[in-house]
Amino acid sequence: MKAFTGVKISGATPAVRGTLYYLIHTLLTLERVPYDAQLCIHVVSLQHMHCLNQRFRRVNRPTDVLTFAQTGATDRFVNDLLFGDADGGGDHHVNIGSSTEYGQSLPRLSCSTADVGQSPPHSMLRSALVELGDIFVCLEYMQKRCNASPSRCLPLVPYLEASMVHATLHALGYDHTSPQELQRMVRREQQLGRRLAALSRRCPGYLPPLDIWASD
């Protein structure tokens, strides 16, 4: 496989960085994203995530994953071309700002815009294809939630998988501000989940158990 050299991961131990990189690499490959795509993953503390959640969502507590997508009007054309469903329903772009239990999508940091009634120039299409944004991950929150409610929460690795699938789809322009958009996003999450599960069966160690407290 070719490498996504534009995927940057900060704040993680080497073991966690490797797990996150492989997971994101797999998801971007399955979604047919160009190999020069730019996506930043930030592993942050409970306090940092709390501050982000309060500042951008007005929610006074930490959460597991937040997505700052670079998607905008241009991506309606991009998603139709690359990320469309097999049944022909390909417009996954909606306004940013909705939230779920995990993978909240927030106002984008910056983005070029275009009149959706016109085909955007090639330079804007190219920018939309490769500039995906930022994902903030709080493994401490996930671990605490797993420990507090083990019967109601996924184990850490499947929880991380589900959160990153959701967050990555947000970065690619998916959202869920209408029933139709929610249905389309959930369907794609389920498809990716099944493909990750099949990969896990074929290669049992591809996402090894995480020790988020390990220093190396």
pLDDT digit string (tens) for 177-208?
A: 889 999 999 999 999 999 988 988 888 777 66
Token readout for 130 is 């490769």
In whole angstroms, what is the distance from residue 35 CA to residue 189 CA? 21
Examine the pLDDT at 117 and tell me if it is beyond 80: no
Examine the pLDDT at 213 and tell me if it is beyond 90: no
Examine the pLDDT at 145 and tell me if it is beyond 60: yes
Rg (CA), the chain: 17
Domain boundaries, the chain: 7-202
Q: Which CATH architecture has domain 7-202?
A: 3-Layer(aba) Sandwich (3.40)
182 or 127, which is more confident?
182
In whole angstroms, what is the distance from residue 201 CA to residue 97 CA? 36
pLDDT-based confidence at 115, cuts 50/70/90?
very low
pLDDT of residue 2: 72
pLDDT-based confidence at 169, cuts 50/70/90?
very high
pLDDT digits (tens, 9 = 90+) for 38-94: 999 999 999 999 999 999 999 999 999 999 987 544 444 444 444 444 333 332 222
Nearest CA to 133 among 102, 101, 96? 96
| pLDDT (average), residues 167-180 | 89
| pLDDT (average), residues 132-140 | 94
In whole angstroms, what is the distance from residue 135 CA to residue 156 CA? 18
| pLDDT (average), residues 151-168 | 91
| pLDDT (average), residues 164-182 | 90
| pLDDT (average), residues 159-185 | 91
In whole angstroms, what is the distance from residue 70 CA to residue 172 CA? 8
pLDDT of residue 205: 74
CA distances in angstroms from 148 to 93, 153, 155, listed in the order given = 36, 9, 11
Strand order in the sheet with 104-106: 7-10, 38-43, 131-137, 65-69, 104-106
Burial state string for 112-125 with b = 16 or more CB within 10 A and e = fewer than 16: eebeeeeebeeebb
Angle between helices 14-30 and 156-171 (to 10 degrees): 50
